[in-house]
Structure formats: structure tokens, C-alpha cells
Amino acid sequence: MNITRYARIENSPRPREIVLLKAFPCQWGRCSFCDYIHDNSADESEMNSTNAGVLRQVTGDLKALQVINSGSCFEIPAASLQLIKETVQRCQVQQLYFEAHWSYRHRLDEMRRFFGLPIIFITGVETFDDHFRNQVLKKGMIYRDIAEIRQYFASVCLMIGMQGQTREMISNDVKIAIENFDYVTINLFVDNSTGIKADLELQAWFKCEFAWLQQHEKVDILFENTDFGVGAAIQS
């Protein structure tokens, strides 16, 4: 599979470079809609060598770097984390963005201490509907209230347009995300190799009803999973 691993997100309220690194398998690994984990590996030297090549492309001219892997930042090999650190120092990056599953919420400060830089942590909530998130999507994210999420994560991802979701659920998700978080990434679900299927009618409704989100200062919308410029077209 041909995977693009470096891109620049310039048409965003928060311009930044983005790298998709290789990492160990997602520790949670049970989300029913996810087959990103096909990019995971156990070959540490191969991962570090791939990641070194990707990180060499970072210039720092946007002063912000988002690092994603098919999992959480805690699954990136230690030598690659060190390479990220050297890269941000060399390029004078001032703001990092990392992703982490809810189960890592108590460890986020480890990364802040290691990098010595402001880090915005992003977590994939997908939906605030507890039943759909945990029973259907198997997200493994149980929280007391929204304030508990906000305590750890300034930024959330929502997944929109899967069979079983409703217009009410989506409207509620968007409202909660915008009212409570600094940044929101909205992904329209694209069919992949899992049993979760896209609801194209719901997505068409969303694009029309929420067209205004494309201009919202907090929001990045990905109509395709490669819209940030990294990744590969999904094989369903």
C-alpha cells in the first residue's frame, strides 16, 4: 500500500505540518470501525528507519507539528520519540499535537515532560452517545461527564455518518464538541474492511445541515480519511 506520511495542513485555522508515523500495535485495538491498525508493526528498526525519513521532511515553518500514528502516541517507539524531539528542536516547532486513547489519560504529562513543549492532546470520542460509542463502536471510553474528558483533552475527534447513528445524535455530538473543546476534528466515515458501514444519506444531510462548520475556527472536517494529506485510500 502506498501511504503518504508527510503533509502540510494550510487551509485550517491552525496551520501545521503533519506526519503519520509507524508504531507498535494499538494497545486498545478493539474499536469495531477501525482497520488503521494494519499500519502497526513489531519491527522496531524498520519503524524507526521509516519514521526518520518522514521526520526529515519537517521544516518547522508553520511552527506547529501534528504527529499521528495508527494508535496512540505512547505506542511510538522510544527511538522515534527521540527523533521527534530532535526534529522539533532543529525546526523550532513551538506547538505539538498528539493523539491518545482514553486509557492513556493519566500519562499525558509524561509526554509533556519529555518534549518540554505545549502539547494539545486529541482523543477520538467519535460520539458522546454512550451506547453507540461503547456498545457499537467498542471504543472503551467510559467517563463521568464531559468535564472529565476536558480535564485531559483539549481536542476531540468525532466520527460522522455510520449506519445506526441518527441526526439527533450527530447534532448533539457537534453541539457538545464545539461548546466544550478548543479544537474538533470531524471525520466522515468511509467504508473499510470492518463490518461498520457508512450511511451516505446521513452524510449528505450532515454536509448540508452543517456546511457552516467548514468555516468554524475550531473545526477541521475530513470528508475523506486522507483529507489531511496523509494516509492511503481505504480498501473496503
CB 49 within 8 A of CB 100: no
Strands in 34-146 per DSSP E: 64-69, 95-99, 119-126
Q: Indicate whether 153 belongs to the interface with ligand SF4 (CB under 6 A).
A: no
Q: Indicate whether 101 belongs to the interface with ligand SF4 (CB under 6 A).
A: yes
Helices 167-180 and 200-209: crossing angle, nearest 10°?
50
CA 144 – CA 114 distance, rounded (Å): 29
- The CB-of-101 to ligand SF4 minimum distance in angstroms stands at 4
Q: Which of 23, 71, 136, 196 is the binder for ligand SF4 (CB under 6 A)?
A: 71
- The CB-of-99 to ligand SF4 minimum distance in angstroms stands at 8
Looking at the Cβ atoms of 67 and 93, the one nearer to ligand SF4 is 67
Q: Which residues contact 216 (CB under 8 A, 6 or more apart)?
A: 178
Number of residues that bind ligand SF4 (CB under 6 A): 12
Q: Indicate whether 36 belongs to the interface with ligand SF4 (CB under 6 A).
A: yes
Looking at the Cβ atoms of 124 and 183, the one nearer to ligand SF4 is 124
DSSP single-letter state for residue 222: E
- The CB-of-11 to ligand SF4 minimum distance in angstroms stands at 25
- The CB-of-163 to ligand SF4 minimum distance in angstroms stands at 17
Looking at the Cβ atoms of 157 and 176, the one nearer to ligand SF4 is 157
Residue 172 phi/psi, 5-degree rounding, is -65, -40
Which helix H or strand E contains 220, and what residues bound it?
A: strand 219-222
Residues making contact with ligand SF4 (CB under 6 A):
26, 28-31, 34, 36-37, 70-71, 101, 124
